Chain A
Amino acid sequence: MLMNAEVSLSCEGIERFLGEDDSRVHALRGVSLQLERGTVHAVVGPSGCGKSTLLYILGLLDHADSGWVTIENEAVSHLVDDALARKRNELLGFIFQFHFLLEDFTAQENVMIPMRRLAVLSEEQMLERSAHLLDAVGLGSKLKRPSRHLSGGEQQRVAVARALANNPSVILADEPTGNLDSANSRRAFELLQRIVQEERKALLLVTHNPEIAEACDWIHEMQDGRIVESHSRGHRISVRAGA
């Protein structure tokens, strides 16, 4: 696999077993991956092939049974829970299929939640940054609107703004357009793509949408817990499992 030197996130030989005893499943079988700054990677594959499991391990929400994860050239697999939480807060941004906003909070308050945990900005600075981020995703006029009163597309854009709140190096998205119509899907993806390119971030998204996958810089096809093929836009390079 051809990668440039500016690696934001990488993993090597990730193995993960889910369930116990008879129901034990070998969900990931030696997955390796590298995400460089300014690139968009899509993970595709049938349901149950291990896409989301890989995403949660890379997002430090789940642990690998073997293998290691590096973020910004620092190995993080061995870190304790509090340290992992800090890494998630500082370096990672998550976008989920069902956007997962706090319904009782306004759009602006949702965006400010990661900033509050980081505790670097003052209240005024947080208000200013969250307003700027929401403005960037086209929601500058709906800052104070409770998130439950926003449309699906708007909620997903709030989720994008929230993922960018702490200026993370890596954005991980689990079917970010899965709950949107095609027009909104395209708009949301283009927004993410623009942010990644402009701000030199790395984006890994899990998707079932072939149009979106084809628009990514890299596509990784997964099957039975392995990346069976990775190719850049316009090129096809087969990769053996565990390679």
Chain B
Amino acid sequence: MTPPLYIALRFLRHRRRSFILSLSGVVFGVAIFICTQAQTQGFAQNFIDSTLGSNGALLLRSRFQSATTGLLVPPKNVRNPNQPRRHSIDGITNASEIMRISRQFADVAACSAVLRGTVSARAGFDNATVDLFGIDAVSHLQTTNLAQQITSGDLDDFRNNPNAVIIGSRLAEAMQVVPGDAVQLLSPGGEYRRFTIAATARSGVGVVDSVRVYCHVRVAQTLLRKPFPASMIVYKLRDPERAPAVARAFEDLFQHDAQSWQDREEANLQLFVTVRVSAAITVSLIILLAGFGIFNVLTMSVLSKIKEIAILRSMGYRARDISAIFLWQGAMIAAAGSVIGCLAGAAFTWGVSKIPIQVRGLLYANHFLVTWDWHHYLWATVLAIVAVFIASYVPARRAAQLAPVATLRGSSA
């Protein structure tokens, strides 16, 4: 143990009240930082998981068609004549071939063609406009979390019955239907077709659960009277974060509009980021206040130890040894505060995750959602160490600059 560390430990032991005061500031700041980050990211992560589980990481939709194809002279309002203006045509051309090629990409874990359309649904006296997803059960279950989203009913009843549907949980509540009930879907031609509800599904995303109905793709093609069997392809990626890059590659390769989940959910994600940053700023201010507290405590400590500093200097301690004594004190406050703060933060986070809360909007949750991410603990610790170092540096420097003679002369005859 170095002499400054030994002396710092002894000084701290004999100034317990100040030490505990400084320590509690750091503990509180670190713990609150971890807890707020766990909450805000918990809701965001739940939303991301839910949206990836329902709509995939990537959607390939309408086919591009150049708006200037066949014109000898480009239109005057085209900004870059070399880059053709593009229109999109609804539907996927040759979906099975695109999926075959897509599966050869290392990024692609699974993909599924979906025929999508809007129809009216009727059950008893209740009517609703629904988002119909015509799916191939096998590939769609591989691509999404639909199997895990089933809350009631049986997936096999859907698989084995061409006239069965899976209905969103909130839609089922709104139309007061349960698995086994019948629901009628109105085709664009104006005729109703009767389906049996095989299961209800809850994705956790409000806009999905309140409007979505899954049926078999051939039934959907008949009902929607579409000339093509797929209006989009849903992709599951091994690394969802790579979705924007894969989307760009697919657009170039397949000449279809591709949209990553980050683009698709930009507004919601922005909201979560804003809340998270706001919470981080608030908690950082708490840690900053703790830093001011430590600054005051260490400054007072330096002032109360002027005599001791002069004695140590007279006995051969260097200016940097004196500085190190106070920096060690700060380091011990930061280390102990970070460790206890991380433990307290984990405990707070666990406690918060048990608080019941009814969220039935953008998300579905019955209690606070939290994430357990070691990055939160790392950032809280780094923030605490930086704040405490800055708070300790000035008093430590001041202590090192104290001239021992002034103190010794002032105390002697």
Contacts and interface: CB of A to CB of B under 8 A. Distances in A.
Interface of A: 47, 52-53, 56, 59, 61-62, 81-82, 85-90, 92, 94, 96-98, 100-102, 104-105, 109, 113-114, 116-119, 162, 166, 174-175, 178, 208
A165 B313 CA distance: 15
A132 to B, nearest CB: 19
A87 B11 CA distance: 26
A88 B413 contact: no
Residue among B14, B310, B412 with most chain A CB within 10 A: B412
Nearest to A159: B311
A100 B405 contact: no
Given A104-B10, A119-B3, A97 B411 contact: yes
Contacts of A109: 10
A178 to B, nearest CB: 6
23 contacts: A53-B409, A56-B405, A61-B313, A61-B408, A85-B317, A87-B316, A88-B314, A94-B314, A97-B412, A98-B411, A98-B412, A100-B307, A104-B10, A104-B14, A113-B7, A116-B3, A117-B3, A117-B315, A117-B316, A119-B3, A174-B412, A175-B413, A178-B412
Q: Interface residues of B: mostly helix, strand, loop or mixed?
A: helix
Contact of B316 (A52, A85, A104, A175): A85
Contact of B409 (A52, A90, A101): A52
Contact of A113 (B14, B312, B408, B409): B312
B319 to A, nearest CB: 6
B316 to A, nearest CB: 2
B11 A104 contact: yes
Residue among A85, A114, A162, A166 with most chain B CB within 10 A: A85
Nearest to A47: B413
A124 to B, nearest CB: 14
Interface string B312-327: 1111111111000000
Contacts of A162: 315
Contact of A61 (B14, B320, B405): B405
A85 B314 CA distance: 8
Contacts of A53: 409
Nearest to A109: B10
Interface of B: 3, 6-7, 10-11, 13-14, 307-308, 310-321, 404-405, 408-409, 411-413
Nearest to A100: B311
Residue among B6, B13, B315 with most chain A CB within 10 A: B315
Contacts of A116: 3, 6
A62 B320 CA distance: 18
A174 B11 CA distance: 27
Residue among A104, A109, A119, A178 with most chain B CB within 10 A: A104
Nearest to A165: B315
A56 B408 contact: yes
B43 to A, nearest CB: 50
A101 B7 CA distance: 13
A97 B413 contact: yes
A90 B315 CA distance: 9
A82 B412 CA distance: 25
Given A52-B409, A87-B316, A178-B412, 15 more contacts: A56-B405, A61-B408, A82-B319, A85-B317, A85-B319, A86-B318, A88-B314, A96-B408, A97-B411, A100-B314, A102-B311, A104-B14, A116-B3, A117-B316, A119-B3
B317 A56 contact: no
Given A96-B411, A104-B10, A88 B315 contact: yes
Contacts of A101: 311
Contacts of B310: 100
Contacts of A208: 413
B321 A117 contact: yes
A88 B316 contact: yes
A81 B316 CA distance: 10
Residue among A96, A104, A117, A166 with most chain B CB within 10 A: A117
Given A61-B313, A61-B408, A96-B408, A81 B318 contact: yes
Contacts of A52: 409, 412
A220 B244 CA distance: 89
Contacts of B411: 96-98, 100
Nearest to A118: B316
Across the A-B interface, the 6 shortest Cβ-Cβ residue pairs: A89-B316, A104-B14, A116-B3, A88-B316, A85-B318, A114-B315
B2 to A, nearest CB: 8
B404 to A, nearest CB: 6
B314 A90 contact: no
Contacts of A47: 413
Residue among B13, B14, B319, B408 with most chain A CB within 10 A: B408
A208 B408 CA distance: 17
A61 B319 CA distance: 12
Nearest to B11: A104
Contacts of B405: 56, 61-62
A188 to B, nearest CB: 16
A105 B11 CA distance: 9
A76 to B, nearest CB: 13
A47 B313 CA distance: 25
A105 B321 CA distance: 18
Contacts of B317: 85, 89, 117
B318 A82 contact: yes
A174 B316 contact: no
Nearest to A179: B413
A88 B317 CA distance: 9
A104 B15 CA distance: 10
Given A97-B412, A174-B412, A61 B314 contact: yes
A113 B412 contact: no
B107 to A, nearest CB: 59
A136 B308 CA distance: 25
Nearest to B6: A116
B412 A94 contact: no
A94 B317 CA distance: 13
